Amino acid sequence: MYLPWSYIHSFECNACGICCSHFSVPLRPNEALEISRKLGRYYVEIRKDRLFLRKESRSCPFLLSSHLCYLQMLGMKPRACKLWPFYIFKNPEYGRREEAAFSSKLGTFYIYVDPRCPGIAIGRPTEKLMSAIEEAVEIWLGLRREQVLTTSSLKALARMGHESMPKIAQIEDSWLLSSIGPQIPEIGELRNQSHRGALYRLE
Ligand code: SF4
Ligand code: SF4
């Protein structure tokens, strides 16, 4: 069951990787096309006329052992992954209209949260949560690509034992993709290596 955003106190992604292991990732056609073209058709599957990222051994093949997302490093992280655990609609699709309504300078949206994310705490919403939701709305509308509050922080990654992480924003920047051009390494080579190793190979 999804909860209206106003039931949520805070969200901090702790990089646990649960969302990358337990759920299917729906793709938009342009995302499926880009992943197929740059990484291989294998990584996109069609189920009942819908496009999904193919999972391997019940996990996303792009989840690195450092708990970072290889697609994020390439500037190709799907929108569904960027928005999790938030679900954004123009109408109150899951009910509780008043509690789900979120108004910002961009308009009124109806926002629900999946409480299965361990980074979610229930309670009175904080300012930081509202800023994270504003960021999610901008991503949903296609007004921004960079994630700051809706992804794991360096502190969270360090707590998980992944010290010396470069800035997520640096990884997200498209300079990485443009600098490696068509020579994107095989994901199979990368996913069991540390993030530092992966970056080393990409450079
Ligand atoms: S979004 Fe939630 S489930 Fe996904 S890695 Fe972060 S804390 Fe874990
Ligand atoms: S694409 Fe990245 S964020 Fe999405 S499920 Fe895979 S590893 Fe996780």
Return the residue matching tokens 């989840």.
63
Distance from the alpha carbon of residue 60 to the mean position of ligand 2, in angstroms? 6
User: Which residues neighbour 63 within 8 Å (Cβ) at sequence distance 6 or greater?
Assistant: 17, 20, 21, 69, 70, 191
Distances in Å between the alpha carbon of 97 and those of 29, 76, 100, 101? 30, 33, 5, 6
Ligand lying closest to the C-alpha of residue 75: 2
Determine the average pLDDT of the residues in 151-159: 66
Residue pLDDT, tens place only, 121-148: 999 999 999 999 999 999 999 999 889 8
Give the global pTM: 0.79
Residue closest by Cα to atom 2 of ligand 2: 69
The whole-number pLDDT of residue 26 equals 95
CA atoms within 13 Å, Cβ hemisphere of 106: 18
Determine the average pLDDT of the residues in 94-123: 96
Asked if pLDDT for residue 190 goes beyond 90, the answer is: no
